[in-house]
Amino acid sequence: GENVEQHPSTLSVQEGDSAVIKCTYSDSASNYFPWYKQELGKRPQLIIDIRSNVGEKKDQRIAVTLNKTAKHFSLHITETQPEDSAVYFCAAKDQGAQKLVFGQGTRLTINP
C-alpha cells in the first residue's frame, strides 16, 4: 500500500525566511497530493494541492512542486510570518481507489 514519508519532523525558521518541507510517496498510482495545516487543538485544513499532471502550483506565499518520476513533492513557504507556525501534513491519494494517506507531519515554528 501507499507509504508517505515526510521530512523534517520539526523546522524552525526566522520570520521572513523561507521554509521547505519534503515528502516522498511509494505508490505510482497516487495522482493527487494535498498539503494540510493543523493549528493546535484544531482540525487539519487544506492549504494547497496539486494533481499529478502539474509540476508546480503557487498560491501567494505558498507553492508546491511535484516530481512524479522521483515520487517526491515539496511545500515552499516564502516570507514566513508568525501565523505560519503550525503542524503541516503532506498526503497522497489514488483518485481511483480514493485511499488518502498522510505523512508524519512537520512542526513549523516561526521565530520573531
Partner 1 sequence: NAGVTQTPKFQVLKTGQSMTLQCAQDMNHNSMYWYRQDPGMGLRLIYYSASEGTTDKGEVPNGYNVSRLNKREFSLRLESAAPSQTSVYFCASSGTQGALGEAFFGQGTRLTVV
Is 47 a binding residue for partner 1 by CB under 8 A? The answer is no
CB distance 34 to 53 below 8 Å: no
Residues 6-35 that bind partner 1 (CB under 8 A): 6, 32, 34
Which is it for the CA torsion 93, 29, 23, 76, positive or negative? negative
Least separation in angstroms between residue 96's CB and partner 1 is: 9
In the complex with partner 1, which residue's Cβ is closer, 67 or 95?
A: 95
In the complex with partner 1, which residue's Cβ is closer, 16 or 90?
A: 90
Give the residues lining the site for partner 1 (CB under 8 A). 1, 6, 32, 34, 43-46, 49, 51, 89, 91, 93, 95, 97-105
